[in-house]
Amino acid sequence: QLQLQESGPGLVKPSETVSLSCTVSGGSISSSTYHWGWIRQPPGKGLEWIGSSYYSGSTYYNPSLKSRVTISVDTSKNQFSLKLSSVTAADTAVYYCATYSGSEGNFEYWGQGTLVTVSS
Amino acid sequence: DIQMTQSPSSVSASVGDRVTITCRASQGISSWLAWYQQKPGKAPKLLIYAASSLHSGVPSRFSGSGSGTDFTLTISSLQPEDFATYYCHQANSFPITFGQGTRLEIK
C-alpha cells in the first residue's frame, strides 16, 4: 500500500516561490500505474486540482495556474515536487499530494496535507 | 473546462436515514466521475470511481449511479461516521474539476 508524505515551508512571503515535496513509500514512483498529482484546498473551501505528472515527464496543469506551476518527478529519491511561483494570499491553502489513476479516473492515495500560508 | 455542480450544498439527516447527493456536469463525461468523503482536518478518501464502482474497503451502504451529465451518491443507512463533506470530480478531461462539496450534518 502506497503512503505519501508532503514536506515544505509552512510560511511563504508574497511574490516568492513555494516548493513542496511528496515522498512516496511502499511502491516505486516509476510505476506506470499512476500519475503523481497535487490538489489544494483553501481554508474552509473546496478542492482544486493543480496538476499531475507521469514518471516519464509528461505533465498536465490546471490552466488557471499553468503559468506559475511546475511539477516534476525525481525517480532517484522516489519523490515528486511542486513549485508555485509569484504566490499571493490567494494561494494560502492545504496542499495535498495524491496518486491519480488515468485508467480509473480517481485519486486513490493521498498525503495528509501541508498548510502553506502566504503572508509577509 | 467542465463545471461540476453538486446539490444540495448541505443536508441534515439522522442516523439510519437514506441520503442522496447529486453531481451534475456541464457537459457529458460518460462515467468518468468519482466521489470522495472528507472529514475535518483530514485528506479526502475515495469512495466511488467510474460513477458506480465501489473502492476497496468502502462499506456497501455507499453506492453511485449515473452517466453522461447527472450522477448520484447514495448512502443507504447513515452511520455516525458518515457525517462529513462529500466531493465529486470529473475525470473525463483535463483540467480535472471538482464539485463545490456537500456537507452532511447530523439532524
Exposed e or buried b per residue across A7-28, where buried means at least 16 C-beta atoms within 10 angstroms of its C-beta: ebeeebeeeeebebbbbbeebe
Taking the CA of residue A12 and the nearest CA in chain B, the distance in Å comes to: 21
The answer to whether residues B31 and B69 touch, using CB atoms and an 8 Å cutoff, is: no
Taking the CA of residue A17 and the nearest CA in chain B, the distance in Å comes to: 23
Residue-level pLDDT at A33: 87
Query: pLDDT tens across B17-48, in order?
Result: 999 999 999 999 999 999 999 999 999 999 99
The answer to whether residues A40 and A18 touch, using CB atoms and an 8 Å cutoff, is: no
Please, what are the averages of pLDDT over each run of 10 residues along chain A (120 residues)? 95 98 94 92 98 88 96 94 98 97 94 98
From the list A46, A49, A108, which residue is nearest B96 (CB)? A49
Residue-level pLDDT at A57: 79
The candidate with the shortest Cα–Cα distance to B65, out of B74, B57, B56, is B74
Chain B contact probe: residue of A58, A97, A107 with most B CBs at under 10 A: A107
Rounded to an integer, what distance in angstroms lies between the CA atom of residue B5 and that of residue B99? 5
Class of residue B44 by CB neighbours under 10 A (exposed 0-12, middle 13-18, buried 19+): buried
8 Å CB contact of B46 and A108: yes
